[in-house]
Amino acid sequence: MNAQVSSSPDPFLQFKQAQKQGWAHFAPLEALTIPQAARLVRHAKVKAGDRVLDVGCGTGVVSITAARMGAQVTGLDLTPELLQRARENARASEVEVDFHEGDAENLPFGDSSFDVVLSQYGHIFAPRPEIATAEMLRVLKSGGTIAFATWPPELYVGRSSALAMKYLPPPADVPSPFLWGDPGVVRQRLGNRVKDILFHSASMNVPALSPQLHRTNVERTVGSMVKLVEVLSASDPAKLQEFRKESEALAAEYIEDNVLRQDYLLTRATKI
Q: What tens digit of pLDDT does each residue of 127-176 get?
A: 999 999 999 999 999 999 999 999 999 999 999 999 999 999 988 899 99
What integer is the mean pLDDT of 117-131?
97
Residues in contact with 255: Cβ distance below 8 Å, sequence separation at least 6, in sequence order: 208, 210, 211, 214
Set out the domains of the chain in order of their start, with CATH numbers: 13-152+170-204+263-271 (3.40.50.150)
Tell me, what's the pLDDT at 184? Answer: 98
Residue 59 backbone dihedrals phi, psi, to 5 degrees: -85, 10
Distance CA 94, CA 119 (A): 22
Q: Under a CB-based contact definition with an 8 Å cutoff, are residues 127 and 104 in contact?
A: no
- Tens of pLDDT, residue by residue over 170-201, are 888 999 999 999 999 999 999 999 999 999 99
Alpha-helical (H) ranges within 114-210 are 129-138, 156-167, 183-190
Residue 1 has pLDDT above 50, yes or no: no
Q: Under a CB-based contact definition with an 8 Å cutoff, are residues 176 and 157 in contact?
A: no
Dihedral (CA of 149, 155, 161, 162) sign: positive
